[in-house]
């Protein structure tokens, strides 16, 4: 029982880190400099990090929910 919880925790951590890294990589394609005010570098970096974490975590939660629902699907079909 505890091994399964540990595996789920590790999968969740790795999933979040993976999707945050992919989101960071994908956001590199955008040119945010045109949208930001001059001399606001720290605020821009913080916004970039928060945006990356938000999008990455949302994508990871979707993936983990979908995986969980898929694994629970056999219980729906049981007689």
Distances (CA, A) of 66 to 25, 29, 46, 70, 71: 23, 28, 30, 6, 9
pLDDT tens, position by position, 21-73: 999 999 999 887 777 888 888 888 899 999 999 999 999 999 999 999 998 88
Q: Please, what sign has the CA dihedral across residues 62, 63, 64, 68?
A: positive
Does the structure show a pLDDT above 80 at 78? no
* pLDDT value at residue 44: 86
pTM equals: 0.84
């Amino acid at each position: 029982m505890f091994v399964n919880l540990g595996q789920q925790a590790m999968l969740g951590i790795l999933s979040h880190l993976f999707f945050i890294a992919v989101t960071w990589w994908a956001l590199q394609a955008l040119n945010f400099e045109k949208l930001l005010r001059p001399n606001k570098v720290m605020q821009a970096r913080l916004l970039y990090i928060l945006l990356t974490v938000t999008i990455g975590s949302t994508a990871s939660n979707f993936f983990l929910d979908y995986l969980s629902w898929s694994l629970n699907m056999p219980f729906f079909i049981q007689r």
